[in-house]
Amino acid sequence: MRLTYTADLWWKNAVVYCLDVETYKDGNGDGIGDFRGLTQQIDHLDRLGVTCIWLMPFFPSPSRDDGYDISDFYSVDPRLGTLGDFVEFMRTARDRGMRVIADLVVNHTSDEHPWFKEARSSRDSPKRDWYVWQDEPGPVDPKAIVFPDKEDSLWELDKKTGQYYYHSFYKFQPDLNTANPQVRDEIARILGFWMELGLSGFRVDAVPFLIEGIGGDPHEFLADLRAFMNRRDGTSILLGEVNLPYPDLMKFFGDAGNGDEVTMCFDFIAMQRFHLSMARQNPEALAEALRDRPEPPDDSQWAMFVRNHDELTLDKLTEAQKQEVFDAFGPEKNMQVYDRGLRRRLPPMLGGDMRRLKLAYSVLFSLPGTPVLFYGEEIGLGENLKAEGRMAVRVPMQWSAKGGFSPNPKTSVASPTGKFGPRNVNVADQRRDPDSLLSWIRLLVERYRESPELAWGAYEILDAGDVAVLAHRADAEGATVVAVHNFADREAKVDLVLEKLDGCETLVDLLVDGTLDLPADGRVKFTLEPYGTRWLRASVPDAAPEDTSAKSE
């Protein structure tokens, strides 16, 4: 494929890396990560092959919800640095060819935000209608409460004014009234401000909650935001957190032919089916999700992930399926959260089995969509279950055998211990080990970037001849990549029939040296080791990119 074309839609085959500035690297020795520390470590991301950094909230906040309770959308939390430090980080990332996006958390504010303080000062306040108020609390479906361990209602009484305000999440996070045109204008100004400082887009937090309560067509708001961003920078994106069944989720891409709302959506369905498949050592649940998944608009994309910064939610599985995953990967009660997910990272879930870890990330990078890594996944970072709730997975990055996160022993969060502590899991050691998880993921990133078929091509689930094997192919402009993964702890006999590969006589293994002959009938047989993986390329050699320039007569 022509690189000029794929570069225009950079997000379709990007490598996105999510990190929390506070837990990534301490640059001034106060025990808290900051932009100076992050900037000093940016070459690690460059060497890894990251093309887009996603920053978790870095704005001023009381930090009662790890920064998602924002008290100022136009500045940087003083603990993490200054706007000057942010701009220096942006310049350094741009110098390394990396784009940056940030969390857009505008469905609510902190109750300490000046807007809310003004809104609750009087029923006649000019900011009163920036939030949602009622004289009496509305009826509440217990299933609608996001944090049932902390909240029992979606309404909180404001004693001064005698009315209740609405909060989708914690009571200290009042929802903004996005039906108010002034609020919508202010959200656009927030986007415009950070885009002027270099951001290439935003990961939109809890998108369905953002448009909740808007009269008329709520999707018009998302389309307006996207149009505003396109006017400022046509290459900017919105990455949406939309955890809904596929038919409902598709509406968030927009109705226009190329998509006019959210640019990318996380595929929560496939992620949950992936973990069920790992638990069963049988990929059929994941294969079924991929068969059922609709195609996004032409210029849109799915975002694929193994783990994110929240709990590993299993809410789209049946109760029996969810219990299977709990039994396999989080049997103890303190490993579970909200009765719907796990507060664990993948390496401890898999007992540190390097074969299964390498399998998991090979699946991630080969599936159709854009891979998103959570910081530390590249080295097999563990969790700390002594931390509360979702904070268990938001541990400090481990740079060396002594930790390397901060010279100050009094850090704000605790590291994993034992098998997953810094002495056994760190960047410095894995950089020198060709068999490390870091080396494996660097290889996967490199091969993924060399294989635009995986992100751009039409894909098909294949019959692999063994129930333990997931096989799929991706085809784009006459080139084909076939990915084959053995989910079981046993050898698997693979028997594939690859049709419509005219002119191809061999399959080149992209992950290890070697080739396979491709007979005229397209039938390929080979054995996969336990948890083994193959990426096989079949393409016409030395094919030149299409020449679209005008030809003289």
Which residues are designated catalytic?
Answer: 205, 241
Q: How far is Cα 202 from Cα 512, in angstroms, rounded to an integer? A: 36
CB 78 within 8 A of CB 131: no
CB 493 within 8 A of CB 527: yes
Q: How far is Cα 67 from Cα 79, in angstroms, rounded to an integer? A: 12
Exposure string over 480-510, b if 16+ CB within 10 A, otherwise e: bbbbbbbbbeeebebebebeebeebeebbeb
3-state SS string for 31-87? CCCCHHHHHHCHHHHHHHCCCEEEECCCCCCCCCCCCCCCCCCCCCCCCCCCHHHHH
Is 134 strand, coil or helix?
strand
Backbone torsion region of residue 281, taken as left when φ is above 0, otherwise alpha when ψ lies between -120 and 50, otherwise beta? left
Residue 333, Cβ density class (10 Å: 0-12 exposed, 13-18 middle, ≥19 buried):
exposed
Q: Which position has the token pair 């055998």?
A: 401
Is 342 strand, coil or helix?
strand
